[in-house]
Structure formats: C-alpha cells, structure tokens
Amino acid sequence: MIHAITINDLVTLHGGMPLADVRTPAEFVQGHIPGAFNLPLFSNEERVSVGTAYKQVSREAAILLGFDLTGNKWSGFIKEALEKAPQKKIVVHCWRGGMRSGAMAWALDLYGFDVYLVTGGYKRYRKWVSGQFEAAYDLLILGGMTGSGKTKILHQLRASGEQVIDLEELAQHQGSSYGTMNKLVQPTQEQFENDLATALNRLDKNRKIWVEDESSSIGKRIIPRPLWNQMLTAFLIDIKVPVEQRIDALVKDYGTLDKDFLVECTERIRKRLGPEQTKNAVAAIREDRMTDFIRLALVYYDKTYRNGLTKRKPGQVLSVEVDNTDAAINARNVINLSRSLYETNAIINT
C-alpha cells in the first residue's frame, strides 16, 4: 500500500523507517535528508536524457524513455530496498514527489512493500530546513580566544545534559585557516544546512542551547543568516585562559601537523597577519619551533576575537576565569555562570 505523507510526518516517521532517496547520485551528494540512502532511478546522465526528452519532445516521450532506461533495473531496485528495509516498510522521495518517486513507490508496492511517499519531495524538505533557522532559540554563546578549550568544554556541557549545537563538528572544520587539520572534508553547504536543521529540530526550544562562538563562516560553510543573527544578539560567556596555557594546548593540537600544510595555511592569512609576522611564522614552522609559530599566529587571531567582542552590546558579554585544563571543572563553572545569568534575568522580568 502507498501512503502519502508530509515533511512533518517524515520527521516523525523517519527515525524508525528506512528512507530511500531516488534522485541521481549527483543530486544526493549535493544534499540529502540526513539518514537517507540513495536508490537512484536514473544515473546522472540518464536523468539529463529524460529531462531533455521532456522539454524538447513531450511528457509521454520522457516517460517511455524512462521505462526503456530502467527496464532491466527493477529487480535490482527491489533487492536493494529489501536489504535496507527487510520489514518491507519504507519511505520514498524524489525532488518534487513526482514521477521518479511515484514509479519507485509503484514497483515496491507491487512487490508487497508498505510505502510512504513524501509529498513535495526534497524540494519541500528544503523549505522545512529554512524554517528551522527562522525559529526562535534560547541561545547561549560560548566564547574565548583561540586555544581556550571551548570545544572540549562544549562537549563536556553535552555530557552533563546541556543542549549543544556543535557547529564545527557539523561543518567538519575547526574554524580557522588551519581548520581542516589536513584531514577533515567539509560537507556541501546544502548538506551542512540539512544536518544543522536536523540537529536544531531535535532540541527543546524552551531550554537554553549552547553554541560555540564562530564567525559567519566556518571554513567554506556559511551559518544561515537567521540563525547567525540570533547568535549575534545572544549572551556570550567569554572564557579567560592564560596565554601560555592556550599556546601549550595549540602546540599539542597543531604542532604535529604536516609542515607544508601549516605553511600553506599561514600564507593564506598573510594580508591579515602582515608580511613580517608571516615570514617569521613560516620560518618557525620550518625550523620546528612550534611554540614560536603559535605565538605569532595568535597575534592575528586574538585581535580578530577582540574586534568581534566590540560589536556586541554592553552587558551582553560575561567573563569567567579559567586557569586549569580540566574541561569538566570548566564546564561546571560555565554552567554556574549561566544559571546566575538566567536567575538575574528572571528577577528583572518579574
């Protein structure tokens, strides 16, 4: 049996049911619903041929060509669907919920599957994604200069039961010129947005949500503007960490990376770091003086962070001193500060 469902239905159903995206591999790679698997009705080239027939000849010609192209594939589609959904319950979608998903749903239904067909397809899903960024969230921003251990504290906050959105994890980037760590591969912008929307949707909007302080871009990925605007107006807890402690942490994180990679990334910020600073930083890398390299690079990153703080309203930034490397202790201090902030606001608003 074929059941038509909405995107909102899908968000509820998908957790326990396989989701087949029947668009082409290229479309799937560009962006897909998190957790979906690709069951492409057409290859990338075949879709172009069918689309051309549709535009230049007729809808009927495109349908006939589609059947010609998929004629010997149907048993393969069904076998793959059985591997993913052995209970014969499956969700199917294409771009707009049209012919591709309709054809796949028909074949699977014929074989005995219980098929849930997504109305409006992936196009409607992308509208849902945009809607998640327009929603209001009770954000708390965790800030601090480079090397302050913000990410470790953020992970400890999550382990303590706090709600957390880890933007760097979603973007697969550490947020600086060196942020790929010479190994991370960023998702497409579209996939980053899909994953971020899913993460937001899983949280309770009535509770505070911790987000690490970021610029509007993380590597090559852009934080959606509506969410970014909320981050700019949210309270920021600024972690104050001694510079030598920060340098030690950064040497551990970056000091073992490939020297050519570090040089390339340093050259990328030459205009902002300055020619003399860049020259000295590159020399320090080549000579394996990692502490000197980090100290030089921090001149730029610390200045950038301080400039970012000046753009926030007075009273919007609260500071907490951190003089140890224990993320659990630091997380408790941050939580205590956030609670005092909420209690103060509650008194003011009564």
Contact 216, 223 (CB under 8 A): yes
* pLDDT at residue 313 is higher than 90: no
Residue 347's pLDDT band (cuts 50, 70, 90): very low
Q: What integer pLDDT is reported at residue 311 of this predicted model?
A: 87
Q: Is residue 265 annotated as a catalytic residue, yes or no?
A: no
Quick one: which H or E segment has residue 241? Answer: none
Report which residue type is found at 213. Answer: D
Tell me the per-residue pLDDT of 10-25, one tens digit each, with 9 for 90 and over: 987 655 799 999 999 9
Name the residue with tokens 């172009």: 48
* pLDDT at residue 185 is higher than 60: yes
Considering 53, 65, 92, 94, which one is annotated as catalytic? Answer: 94
Q: Which residues pair with 319 in a beta bridge?
A: 238
Q: What is the mean pLDDT of the chain?
A: 93
In angstroms and rounded to an integer, the radius of gyration of the C-alpha atoms of the chain is 25
Neighbour-count burial of 188, counting CB atoms closer than 10 A to its CB (0-12 exposed, 13-18 middle, 19+ buried): middle
Residue 348's pLDDT band (cuts 50, 70, 90): very low
* CATH class of the 2-130 domain in this structure: alpha beta
Buried b (16+ CB within 10 A) or exposed e, 129-152: beebbeeebbbbbbbbbbbbbbbb
Mean pLDDT across 87-107: 94
* pLDDT at residue 230 is higher than 70: yes
Contact 169, 350 (CB under 8 A): no
> For residue 94, what are its two tokens?
């294409």
Tell me the per-residue pLDDT of 146-160, one tens digit each, with 9 for 90 and over: 999 999 999 999 999
Q: For the residues of 155-169, what is the DSSP string, one character each?
A: HHHHHTT-EEE-HHH
Q: What integer pLDDT is reported at residue 98 of this predicted model?
A: 86
CA angle 262, 268, 270 (to 5 degrees): 105
CATH (residue range 135-348): 3.40.50
Q: Rounded to whole angstroms, what are the CA distances from 198 to 35, 101, 165, 193, 268?
A: 10, 23, 11, 9, 33
Residue 315's pLDDT band (cuts 50, 70, 90): confident
Mean pLDDT across 38-61: 94
d(CA 134, CA 230): 10
333 or 141, which is more confident? 141
Q: What integer pLDDT is reported at residue 345 of this predicted model?
A: 60
Where do the structural domains in the chain lie, given as residue ranges?
2-130, 135-348
- Contacts (Cβ under 8 Å, ≥6 apart) of 207: 138, 163
> For residue 76, what are its two tokens?
């393969």
This prediction's pTM? 0.93
Q: Which residues pair with 21 in a beta bridge?
A: 38, 93
* pLDDT at residue 349 is higher than 60: no
Q: Which of 76, 234, 222 is nearest to 143 (CA)?
A: 234
Residue 343's pLDDT band (cuts 50, 70, 90): low
d(CA 113, CA 90): 7
* pLDDT at residue 217 is higher than 70: yes
- Percent of the chain past pLDDT 90, that is, above it, reads 85
Mean pLDDT across 76-84: 97
Contact 202, 41 (CB under 8 A): no
119 or 315, which is more confident? 119
> For residue 30, what are its two tokens?
């560009």
Q: Minimum mean pLDDT among 76-85, 178-187, 279-288, 326-335: which range?
A: 326-335
Q: What integer pLDDT is reported at residue 344 of this predicted model?
A: 62
Neighbour-count burial of 309, counting CB atoms closer than 10 A to its CB (0-12 exposed, 13-18 middle, 19+ buried): middle
Mean pLDDT across 111-135: 97
